[in-house]
Amino acid sequence: MVSPSTKLYGLIGYPLGHSISFYIHNAAFRALSIDALYINIPIEPESFSKAILGIKYLPIYGLNVTIPHKERIIDFLDEISVISKLIGAVNTVYLEENKWKGENTDFGGFLETLKELKLDKDLPCLILGAGGAARAVVYAVIEYGFKEIYLTNRTYGRAERIAEEVKKNKNIEIKIIPWQERHKVDEKLILINTTSIGLDGKSTPWNGNFKSIAFVYDIIYNPKETPLLSLAKENNVPFKNGLDMLIYQACLSWNKWFGFIGPFEIMKREAEKLL
């Protein structure tokens, strides 16, 4: 029930048709009797600057940020966390002492799922993509303990920049592979997709063989089974989609908005109903 005292939260990105954040946050608000409403705020890239300046003057108390705005949002915030600075991307915005502050809960959300999966740290991992989500994933796999990391992206320079930053910040070498050569890695590895390829339910970022792949992690969660994950299933390779990462990062956002971790099970049940 929306009332005059209802506080607004929301998601900014573009497009937002695939997102279920609207449903999981509002379901949790209802379950915990929190007088708040979570809304979708689609912002096209060319309108981003004007839209953000306008949003800052609206009675909105917190935001999640998704593709393609996780990096651009930083320029419009008063402060960002240490991990956000390290990653160079923000996915959670909150108001504190009349300041707009930024946090990256993608990092914690992905790291939590790695701990649950108990993936072999001695295997190398190949990360597809070099956007805001990829940055969080790179630092999470480093924190988890992977010793060998490959990175590939359609725009080589973006991957190169991440590798340079990681070398500077963590003194860890990341090996860059040109996008067109990504299938040539023939050692046993873990494949992680952070690109948006597959959101359409038709395309896949990986057309190589699966003989050398030990595990496939696609951070896309809608569709529940992307073409990449369907290929993994056909080749009897264990896999995971991005739903738990989404739920964990959403729960961690609550810690900045309300001072406590959001209800994982409530959000997960709602998500599974939708998907």
Distance CA 110, CA 83 (A): 14
| Binding site feature residues for NADP(+) | 129-133, 153-158, 219, 242
| Binding site feature residues for shikimate | 19-21, 66, 91, 106, 221, 249
Selected residue with higher pLDDT from 131 and 255 = 255
Q: Is the pLDDT of residue 208 over 90?
A: no
Angle (CA) 95 136 92, round 5°: 15
Other CB atoms within 10 A of residue 144 CB: 17
Which residues does residue 178 pair with via DSSP β-bridges, in sequence order?
153
CATH code 3.40.50.720 region(s) in the chain: 107-240
Q: Is the pLDDT of residue 246 over 80?
A: yes
Which residues does residue 10 pair with via DSSP β-bridges, in sequence order?
39, 63
Q: Residue 258, Cα to own-chain centre: how many angstroms?
A: 21
Please say whether the dihedral angle defined by the alpha carbons of residues 80, 28, 60 and 245, taken in this order, is positive or negative.
Answer: positive
Percent of the chain topping pLDDT 90: 92
Distance CA 68, CA 46 (A): 11
The tens digit of pLDDT for each residue in 18-37 reads 899 999 999 999 999 999 99
What pLDDT is recorded for position 244? 98
Catalytic residue among 7, 50, 56, 70: 70
Across residues 73-78, what is the average pLDDT? Answer: 97
CATH code 3.40.50.10860 region(s) in the chain: 7-103+245-273
How many residues are there in the chain? 275
The tens digit of pLDDT for each residue in 123-162 reads 999 999 998 889 999 999 999 999 999 999 999 999 999 9
Using only C-alpha atoms, the chain has a radius of gyration, in whole angstroms, of 18
User: Omega of the bond prior to 205 within 30 degrees of 0, cis?
Assistant: no
In three-state form (DSSP H/G/I as H, E/B as E, the rest C), the secondary structure along the chain is CCCCCCEEEEEEECCCCCCCHHHHHHHHHHHCCCCEEEEEEECCHHHHHHHHHHHCCCCEEEEEECCCCCCHHHHHCCEECHHHHHHCCCCEEEEECCEEEEECHHHHHHHHHHHHHCCCCCCCEEEECCCHHHHHHHHHHHHHCCCCEEEEECCHHHHHHHHHHHHHHHCCCCEEEEHHHHHHCCCCEEEEECCCCCCCCCCCCCCCCCCCEEEEEECCCCCCCCHHHHHHHHCCCCEECCHHHHHHHHHHHHHHHCCCCCCHHHHHHHHHHHC
In the CATH scheme, what is the homologous superfamily, with its name and number, of domain 7-103+245-273? Leucine Dehydrogenase, chain A, domain 1 (3.40.50.10860)
- Reply yes or no on whether 70 is catalytic: yes
In the CATH scheme, what is the homologous superfamily, with its name and number, of domain 107-240? NAD(P)-binding Rossmann-like Domain (3.40.50.720)
What pLDDT is recorded for position 186? 83
What pLDDT is recorded for position 130? 95
| Binding site feature residues | 19-21, 66, 91, 106, 129-133, 153-158, 219, 221, 242, 249
Inter-CA distances, 169 with 82, 142, 149, 163, Å:
12, 12, 15, 10
Say if CB 38 and CB 22 are below 8 A apart. Answer: yes
Q: Is the pLDDT of residue 1 over 80?
A: no
